Copies of this chain bind each other. A is one copy, B any other.
Amino acid sequence: MTGATSGRRAGPRAFLLSSDGWPYLLVPFIPLAIVLDLAGVSAVAIFFASALGVIPTAALMGRATEELAARSGPGVGGLLNVTFGNAPELIIALFALEKGLHEVVKASLTGSVIGNILLVLGMSMFVGGLGREKQEFNRVAAGAQSSMLLLAAVALVMPAIFEGINGSGLPSPGAERVAYDGDVEHLSLVVALVLIASYGAGLVFSLKTHRSLFNPPHEPDEEEAQPWSVRRSVGALALAGVAVAVMSEILVGSISEAATSIGLTEFFVGAIVVATVGNAAEHWVAVLVAHKNKMDLSVNIAIGSSAQIALFVAPVLVLVSFVLGPGPMPLVFNGFELGAFLLAVLIANHVTAEGESTWFEGVQLLCVYAVVALAFAFA
């Protein structure tokens, strides 16, 4: 962080090469993606250019949100973080929803959740644990978020059980959009409302009644960087929002054709590639702070982000699907998604139960991610 700070004082070039600044090296991919898209060249090139272009826009959005949140009190700041924290994923998903790519949306939701738990937390525990006997974190805060994931797991499994028994069976990973009957759509709708209500209760818990659990004592070196003005933050947020939207539309527009060209399924692309790029900047921060032995923050980013996607982004998308796109998107996940989701949640509960981690736990999480990704690739 010191490097980043002095970098910012020393000029843009040093900043770009600092540990915070690297995502902005990818900015050239933004105009490149636009040009390639207008030129109508190969979908694969468009897909990769826009995927790389998403990363700096998401990073800017995250930074601007943090700056704005730091200027507000913890209550409003927390709400800002919640609202914009997973905005890139939400925006990408909205474009996919509008195109009726329901299976891609659900794949990327699953991919975000398991990517945060297995890839991000795994990498954090591995990198942070190297050369250390063990790392410690607040297991009560981590446990509260793991519980939310367990609740989400129940909520996301029930419509699938329903559809498996009463309906036409679970979707296959190959399908683009399955036609469901009205019952499972209504069930998904009310389940989504319950999840959002529970997420709201979680905000009251973490921002109000048990705030101290989630706000570890002030760490001075974080503050050295010169804070942004409110005007600059809002401007950056608006700019980032537009850029994310443009990149997302191009990315989503190229998915189907690009997947076919590369020989991968849309399911794999949604669950592994799309889920990764939307979170890349955030992931980097989690690993970086783990390396600095701030495991509380690292676990909070990884598990908290997973919980936010499962309990807020996913149900919001269900609600939106009733008014946007070709029709409602029920929360019916396929067998791979359910298996990966349930097992990842069990593992998240297990590794956070003790409030301690070692590099080996990190390796195990990464191995689980590898197995899941391999299964998705073969699907």
Contacts and interface: CB of A to CB of B under 8 A. Distances in A.
A194 interface: yes
A165 interface: yes
Contacts of A158: 339-340, 371-372, 374-375
Interface stretch (A12-20, A60-68, A143-151, A217-225): A143-151
Contacts of A191: 371, 374-375
Nearest to A363: B201
Interface stretch (A228-236, A245-253, A345-353): A345-353
A165 B172 contact: yes
Given A147-B361, A210-B360, A375-B158, A367 B194 contact: yes
Given A209-B359, A372-B158, A364 B173 contact: no
A143 B354 contact: yes
Give the interface size bracket for A toward B: 35 or more
A197 interface: yes
Contacts of A349: 350
A26 interface: no
Contacts of A361: 144, 147
Nearest to A334: B165
A153 interface: yes
A370 B191 CA distance: 8
Interface string A127-154: 0000001000001100110111011011
Nearest to A351: B147
Contacts of A379: 162, 165-166
Given A154-B343, A350-B147, A378 B187 contact: yes
Of A146, A148, A166, A183, most B-chain CB atoms within 10 Å: A166
Given A165-B173, A165-B336, A349-B350, A371 B153 contact: no
Given A209-B359, A346-B150, A360-B205, A159 B375 contact: yes
A350 B205 contact: no
B155 A364 contact: no
Contacts of A194: 367, 370-371, 374
Contacts of A140: 354, 356
A3 interface: no
Interface string A164-179: 1110001011000000
Contacts of A347: 150-151, 154
A172 B132 CA distance: 47
A349 to B, nearest CB: 6
A202 interface: yes
A71 interface: no
A343 to B, nearest CB: 5
Given A150-B364, A154-B368, A201-B363, 8 more contacts: A143-B354, A144-B361, A153-B343, A157-B339, A159-B375, A161-B335, A162-B336, A194-B367
In the A-B complex, the 8 residue pairs with the closest CB atoms? A205-B360, A158-B375, A198-B367, A201-B363, A187-B378, A161-B339, A154-B343, A155-B371
